[in-house]
Amino acid sequence: MEPVLEVNSLTMDFGGLRAIDQLNLRVMPSEIVALIGPNGAGKTTFFNCITGIYTPSAGDIFLSVNGRRERLNGLKPNRVTQKGIARTFQNIRLFQNMTVLENVMIGRHCRTSSGILGAIFRDRRTRLEEEKVVSDSYKILEKIGLDRFVNELAMNLPYGAQRRLEIARALATEPFLLLLDEPAAGMNQKETQELDELIVNIRDTENISILLIEHDMKLVMRISDRIYVVDYGKKIARGNPLEIQRNPAVIKAYLGEDPDA
């Protein structure tokens, strides 16, 4: 089977600093892959490269969808989203002064097409499209469990709900691959538990592959099919949760070397 996302020896330099060094990564269809590593290891930079916020210095990024393989290097972020990669942000980036529903409706933007004239004249096609955007968005909110907040401003939501809304908004773009950047950060245990069910549920019902960055090891070990560990921009380990837990290089990166050993 062809991987949904294939990243070959990706390198990202910022001046003299090599944030990502020759990183290879694959995400198979309907797979949950975790990317872990200490702070500053280059995980978010890696996401930014894939989603087009940064243009990588070297290497290739391929997205394979429905048997078509496309190179994503150098595409603008909105084009990448249109191709089928959606993401959430480490520090929540919701549209604070828009309602919850509108936040999700923004996600539908790239799957709809009505323009200026349509907006002014509100012809039949535009009206139907608009109605569909509203009902589709509501369905997504129901699925994520945010439907009771529909008309609430995003900024008034409790923290956990804001994180979920980010996921809802990303799902609205109809992705094939969902990138989650620390989705459980700042959540309590119950919220994390619910999140973990949500992520597995998204994978199972929508057939979306998921690549996530996360520091909550319990969550990572519970839901990931495979884990990549990076440190200083380099991959130091790869494998299933059990292998990663036993890997000496990973233990060293996380806990440091034992000076007495």
Partner 1 sequence: MNVRGELKKSFQISAWFMFLTFPILVIRVNTVENVIEWRWYNMAIVGVSTFLGSALWRYLLSVKEKSQRINAASPGNMTSFQKAFSDKRFFYPALFILIGFVISFPFLFSMYQANIMITALIYVMLGLGLNIVVGLAGLLDLGYVAFYAVGAYSYGLLNFHFGLGFWTTLPIAAILAALAGILLGYPVLRLRGDYLAIVTLGFGEIIRLVLENWGEFSHGPSGIANIPRPSLLGIDMTLTQNTIFTYFVMIGLVLFTIFVVNRLQNSRIGRAWIALREDEIACQAMGIDRTRTKLTAFALGATWAGMGGVVFAAKTTFINPASFTIWESVIILCIVVLGGMGSILGVISGALVLTLLPEYLRAFSEYRMLIFGIMLVSMMVFRPEGIIRNVRRTYTFSKE
Q: Which parts of this chain interact with partner 1 (CB under 8 A)? A: 51, 53, 76-78, 81-82, 86-87, 89, 93-99, 101-102, 105-107, 109-112, 114-116, 118-120, 122, 126, 129-130, 133-134, 138, 147, 150-153, 155-156, 169-170, 172-173
**Which one, 4 or 229, has the nearer CB to partner 1?**
4
Q: Of the two residues 11 and 82, which places its CB atom closer to partner 1 in the complex?
A: 82
In the complex, the smallest distance separating the C-beta of residue 251 from partner 1, rounded to whole angstroms, is 34
Residue 208 Cβ vs partner 1, minimum distance, rounded to whole Å: 16
Least Å distance, CB 134 to partner 1, is: 6
Tell me the closest approach of the beta carbon of residue 244 to partner 1, in angstroms.
Answer: 29
Return the exposure string of 110-149: e unless at least 16 CB atoms fall within 10 Å of the residue's CB, then b: beeebeeebeeeeeeebeebbeebbebbbebbebbebeeb
Minimum Å gap between C-beta 149 and partner 1 is 10
Nearest distance from C-beta of residue 109 to partner 1, angstroms? 5
**Closer of 45 and 51 to partner 1 (Cβ):** 51
By C-beta, is 80 or 223 nearer to partner 1? 80
E strand intervals along 79-225: 85-87, 177-181, 209-213
What is the distance between the alpha carbons of residues 255 and 64, in angstroms, rounded to a whole number? 37
DSSP secondary structure of 238-254:
EE-HHHHHH-HHHHHHH
**By C-beta, is 96 or 240 nearer to partner 1?**
96
What are residue 184's phi and psi, to 5 degrees? -100, 5
- Alpha-helical (H) ranges within 13-158 are 43-50, 77-83, 100-107, 116-121, 124-144
Smallest gap from residue 14 Cβ to partner 1 (A): 17
DSSP for 17-32, please give it.
EEEEEEEEEEE-TT-E
Task: Give whichever of 81 and 209 is closer to partner 1, judged by the CB atom.
Answer: 81
- Rounded (to 5) percent helix, strand, coil in the chain: 45, 25, 30
Least separation in angstroms between CB 23 and partner 1: 21
Could you give the CA distance from residue 163 to residue 256 in angstroms, rounded to a whole number?
32
Report CA torsion sign: 244, 248, 252, 253. Answer: negative
Q: Which is nearer to partner 1, 47 or 228 (CB)?
A: 47
For the sheet with 68-71, list strands across it. Answer: 17-27, 5-14, 58-65, 68-71
Our CB check for partner 1 shows the closer of 8 and 82 to be 82
